[in-house]
Structure formats: C-alpha cells, structure tokens
A and B are shown apart, each in its own frame.
Chain A
C-alpha cells in the first residue's frame, strides 16, 4: 500500500517537472543545502593536496625557477609576435569593413564535482548567480569548449558537458567550412569521450586532423570556439555521413574552467540542449 502511494507521489513529482522552467523548489533546496558543504569539502581537499604538493615542490624549486624564467622569456617573445598578429588582424578587419569581435568576458570557477552521475556527463562548479553566472552560459577551458550551464543556484552551477549524449552545438570544420551539429557519443575504446558530427553532406570533404570550431548558427555558443579535431570519417549513408571528433577540452582534467559572462539566450524549458 505504502509502495503504491509513494510510486504515485513520485510519478506526480516527475510529471510536474515537464512544464516547469528551471529548477523545482525541492531541487533548489537540495542543491542550496549541499553546494556550500560540497564547495567546502572540495576546498579542504584542495588545501590538503596543495600543502602536500608545496612541500614536495620545495625540493626542486631552484631548478624549476630557472626553467620557468627561460620559459617566461620565450613566452614573452611569443606574446609580442602574437600581439602584432592581433593588431594586423584588427587592421585587416577595418579594411574589410567587418565589425571587430569583442573578447568574451569570463569568470574563473573551480570544479567541485566531475561526472559524478553514472548516467550523465556533467560538472558542478563553485560559482553561481551571485557571481553573475547565468543559465545557458558557455563553459570553456584554455583548450576549447567544455559545455554549457544548465542549472544555477546562488553559489553553484551545473554544467552539461559537450560530450553528454543529449548535448548539441552547431559547428564547422576550419579548413573546408563544412557545417554540422556535434553531440556526445559513446566513449572510445580507451575510455576517452568522443563527439559525433552529424548532418555532414556525403560529398563534403572532411579530413582527419582538421580542426572543428563552433559556427554560432545555433545562437547558443559564440562563434569560433575550438571544439575538437576530426578523428574519423564514416562512409556516406544516403545524403549524409558521420564525422567523429575528439574534443579538445577534456573534462577528465578540468580543475578550473572559464564561464562566459556574455549575455546568453534563455534555454528552452527542458534543460537538455538537444
């Protein structure tokens, strides 16, 4: 009798979410209750790990200092050359009468949980609406796009990774300018996640090793962000062929991420991006 009662309660609770935008009161309460503890636990673990690594690092600090100085000099030289390239790019844009693109304003956030669910590819971060994080914001690493914010509380946010099976982003190949849509795919044999690029015309030329970037056509991700590299191209079936892409940003190693603070479009009521 109790089982039947609770089954009905659960089914009502689940079905009520279908038309509700954002988080339910229950979900908001749970996340608000747990996120400060989760953030504190993550900070504590980081503190202990940091203290230990500082102790170990002291032993090789001298040689590392010298090596870093050399690296810094090289990086400064590289920066100078890249700065001149950026200036040249800006000049060319003016010549071509294109609007110069503004850099994306971002916020640095710590990852407090990574793929903790056995069924979905998500991250939890320690920044929320109090710091300006909005639902739908793009999440990046220096290597490329990682995903999008799907739920926000004042002190935390949940990120749906691009490698999740329900995610999606409009992309194009850098060289051939071939359009498609990437979404998560089953992991590779070695356990690394893969993306599949769909709706690629059979006659389009796509070669392994080619860079894949966001096209901005979905109005969800900003244009020109690196998504990954073409890994394999399938044989055409009908009008289209599938292209497998190895993502540039690996969620397995992301400890800190950048969250875009640019104004984003509201997500549809169902939180999945598909």
Chain B
C-alpha cells in the first residue's frame, strides 16, 4: 500500500515538474516525465496497477495541459500500462540497452497512437517527423534510464 502511494506521489511530482520545467525549456517536444514514471509503475507493479498508473498519467496530463476532449491519452496509456505490466511480471528487464529500447518503443507507440486516434475526436495534435520522433524517444529513454536507476536504488535501500 505504502509503495503504491509513493508511486502515485512520484506520478504527481512528475506532472508538476513537467509543468514547471516547461516554463524555462521547450521540454514537451522531447520529454514526457509522466510517461516515464507510468512505465516504471507498470513494469514494477504488474498489469492492474500498470493500467491505473498509465490511465491516471494520461488523464491528468490532458486535464492539466491539454484541450478539447480528454481521455484519449488515458485510453492509450491504459493499454500500454496493461502490456507493460504483463511484460514486467514475466521478464526481468534490467539491462540498460533493453530498458532504453523499451522506453523508446513506448514513447513512439504513445505518440503515434495519439496522433492517429485524436483526429477521430476532432483534434489536430502536433505531428512529429520521424527524426523528431527518434530524438524525442531517445531523450525520453535516456532520462528514463537515469530515473529507473534512481528508483531501483531507492527500492533496494528500502528492502535491505
């Protein structure tokens, strides 16, 4: 229970940090902190809580920073959280390269799925070129690697 509350706190902190950092840097095009935290949440807590974390990260991000119909990102991250939860409960993804590739893939799927589904609800989101998408995914994955290492260290310290 305490672990879940900490994970939710981290999600809230990621959302706040995303907002504060956006005042100084154009980070939204390169980095999605709530997505990184939701990915960690799903990988470490299984499919049910992965769905909850993914869904919350999408819904709250859209409520705070989006416009128009809300919930598309929540829907996408619900499915992503479920898939990542299953992946995390069956495989041990610990190496830097597998984690990097996983985060890169998650970022690309999340962004492309939104670009594909949002027009069905009358919204025209920013379209990322393949190059911009690769840069965005790589930065997200690199930041994710650092955050994953920090979360893991914290978890190991608590369990010792």
Query: B68 touching A124 by the CB < 8 A rule?
Result: no
A246 contacts chain B at the CB level, 8 A cutoff: no
Task: Tell me which residues across on chain B come within 8 A of A166, comparing CB atoms.
Answer: 67-68, 123-124
CA–CA, A42 and B48, complex, Å: 34
B109 contacts chain A at the CB level, 8 A cutoff: no
CA–CA, A13 and B78, complex, Å: 13
CA–CA, A13 and B48, complex, Å: 19
Nearest A residue to B20 via CB reads A41
CA–CA, A165 and B136, complex, Å: 20
Nearest B residue to A12 via CB reads B71
One of A7, A118, A160 near B32 (C-beta < 8 A): A118
Segment of A31-39, A75-83, A87-95, A217-225 in the binding face: A31-39
Query: B126 touching A119 by the CB < 8 A rule?
Result: yes
* Interface range, B side: 35 or more
CA–CA, A114 and B69, complex, Å: 19
CA–CA, A24 and B74, complex, Å: 15
Given A118-B126, A119-B125, A112:B23 Cβ within 8 A = yes
A117 contacts chain B at the CB level, 8 A cutoff: yes
Query: A114 touching B23 by the CB < 8 A rule?
Result: yes
CA–CA, A24 and B16, complex, Å: 21
Segment of B2-10, B53-61, B92-100, B145-153 in the binding face: B53-61
A27 contacts chain B at the CB level, 8 A cutoff: yes
Query: A17 touching B65 by the CB < 8 A rule?
Result: no
CA–CA, A28 and B34, complex, Å: 20
One of A30, A112, A120, A158 near B60 (C-beta < 8 A): A30
Nearest A residue to B60 via CB reads A30
B121 contacts chain A at the CB level, 8 A cutoff: yes
CA–CA, A11 and B71, complex, Å: 8
Query: A18 touching B69 by the CB < 8 A rule?
Result: yes
DSSP class of A's interface residues: helix, strand, loop or mixed? mixed
Query: B65 touching A116 by the CB < 8 A rule?
Result: yes
CA–CA, A121 and B68, complex, Å: 12
Query: A115 touching B122 by the CB < 8 A rule?
Result: no
Query: B63 touching A116 by the CB < 8 A rule?
Result: no
One of A27, A34, A41, A118 near B29 (C-beta < 8 A): A118
Query: A10 touching B60 by the CB < 8 A rule?
Result: no
Task: Looking at the assembled complex, report how far the CB atom of B121 sits from the nearest CB atom of chain A, in whole angstroms.
Answer: 7
Query: B67 touching A27 by the CB < 8 A rule?
Result: no
A255 contacts chain B at the CB level, 8 A cutoff: yes
Q: Which of A121-177 contact B (CB under 8 A)?
A: 121-122, 124, 150-151, 158, 160, 164-166
Q: Which of B61-114 contact A (CB under 8 A)?
A: 61-75, 78-79, 82, 111, 114
Query: A7 touching B19 by the CB < 8 A rule?
Result: no
Q: Which of A255-274 contact B (CB under 8 A)?
A: 255, 270-272
CA–CA, A31 and B66, complex, Å: 11
CA–CA, A120 and B126, complex, Å: 6
Kindly list the 9 A-B residue pairs having the minimum CB-CB distance in the complex, ordered from nearest. Answer: A119-B125, A113-B19, A117-B65, A165-B124, A14-B71, A116-B65, A116-B22, A30-B63, A10-B75
Interface residues, chain B, with chain A CB atoms under 8 Å away: 12, 15-16, 18-20, 22-23, 26-29, 32, 47-48, 51, 55, 59-75, 78-79, 82, 111, 114-115, 118, 121-127, 136
Interface residues, chain A, with chain B CB atoms under 8 Å away: 2-3, 6-7, 10-11, 13-14, 17-18, 24, 26-27, 30-31, 34, 37-38, 41-42, 45, 111-122, 124, 150-151, 158, 160, 164-166, 186, 191, 252, 255, 270-272
